[in-house]
Amino acid sequence: MSDEVAPILSVKDLTVEFPTDDGVVKAVRGVSFDVRPRDVLGVVGESGCGKSVSSMAIMGLLPKSARITGSIKFRDRELIGLKPKELRAVRGRQIAMVFQDPMTAMNPVYRVGWQLGEAIKAHNKHFDKKQVRSRSVELLNMVGIPQASTRVDNYPHEFSGGMRQRVMIAMAIANNPDVLIADEPTTALDVTVQAQILEMLIDLKDQLDAAIVLITHDLGVVAGITDRMQVMYAGKVVESGTAEDVFYTPRMPYSIGLLGSIPVHTQDPAAGARLKPIGGAPPSLINVPPGCPFSPRCPLSDGTLCETVDPPLLRVGPGHVAACHHSDELAAMEDPLRLFSATAVPE
């Protein structure tokens, strides 16, 4: 997507902090990104990097204790600081969300039709029972639930995990949202089901003209289906660009580390079969040390600049930004993936 199209969702300098007994957790530390209409934005990073918290902030679903600063604009309308009632009109209508675990995301005591109907009714008060029901069946058909007209009367526990996630997606698209945030939508599912769900999400995006923010820790999930990708680490965006940019010309060692963590299927056990893990663990978000947050784990760290100055996101190509003092070195490398040496992984 070209940069000229006005973004539908625009996040600027978003920070989220949680006061805890041990100190203030800085979960999101200045995140900015734009989502354009019909765009698919992939957000990748490991657990605790702030990707879910960012999406919850957009939905206004963070606990009251969270301190949020920055700006979240939906079509030029500021969402931070909206009154609960105004926010409810956006939630599920303009921006909808699909959650990670379909096993617990649905209320076990109500039929799926009831729960779908609730989502429809929340933004279509004038619908009567018949309209709500036929719309529910229509939605279940859209997400590929067989025998939707009878399944609508089933309880969540009567569905498999993949089918439940389909129902969750049906709930999210009930009001034709403009932005669909999918937070690890396939993580809790069987590998065979994952591909079906992703394929369906992309199908629906085209049908509904919606933009999708796909949050995942699995680069394999975003490969091939996202237009733009951003890599997050320790509450910050560390690299952002087209999927091709990040996959083929990564300019931030952490992105390279993530790429090296994808299992590669090969017939020859000697060639590239071993995973190349990133050593160490992400920093504590309570006392974030100065400098690049990735420097303690980074093979390129120079020990001086990297540990004192946090690198800003700088342009490394058209529409491609990275936060690394040594991105030029990476650009010069023949095979940057060799940055993390292979360590023995039990076969």
Partner 1 sequence: MFSFIVRRILVSIPLLFLASFIAFILVVNTGDPLEDLRTKINVPKGQIALQEHRLGLDKPFFERYFSWLTHAIHGDWGRTIKDKAVWDQISRSLGVTLKLVVFAEICSVLIGVTIGIISAVKQYSWFDHGATTGSFLLYSLPVLAVGSFLKFFLAIRLNRLLGREKNPLLKTIGESTANFCTVRKPQNCGLIPATTDFLTHAALPTLTLVLITFAGYARFARATMLETLNADYVRTARAKGLDEKRVILKHAFRNALIPVVTVVSIDFGGLIGGAILTETIFEWKGMGRVLVDAVTKVDPNLLLCWFAVTAIAVVLFNLVADILYAVLDPRIRL
Give contact residues for partner 1 (rule: CB under 8 A).
Answer: 59, 61, 84-85, 88-93, 96-97, 99, 101, 104-109, 118-119, 122-123, 155, 157, 168, 171-172, 174
Contact predicate 219/262, CB 8 Å: yes
Select from 68, 64, 11 the least CA-distant residue to 36.
11
The nearer residue to partner 1, 175 or 261, going by C-beta atoms, is: 175
CB of 180 to partner 1, least distance (A): 11
The nearer residue to partner 1, 59 or 145, going by C-beta atoms, is: 59
CB of 255 to partner 1, least distance (A): 30
Contact predicate 313/240, CB 8 Å: yes
CB of 105 to partner 1, least distance (A): 5
The nearer residue to partner 1, 94 or 230, going by C-beta atoms, is: 94
Contact predicate 111/155, CB 8 Å: yes
* Residue 158: its H or E element: none
Contact predicate 286/235, CB 8 Å: no
CB of 63 to partner 1, least distance (A): 9
CA 70 to chain centre: 19
The nearer residue to partner 1, 119 or 201, going by C-beta atoms, is: 119
CB of 15 to partner 1, least distance (A): 22
The nearer residue to partner 1, 153 or 209, going by C-beta atoms, is: 153
Three-state secondary structure of 166-201: HHHHHHHCCCCCCEEEEECCCCCCCHHHHHHHHHHH
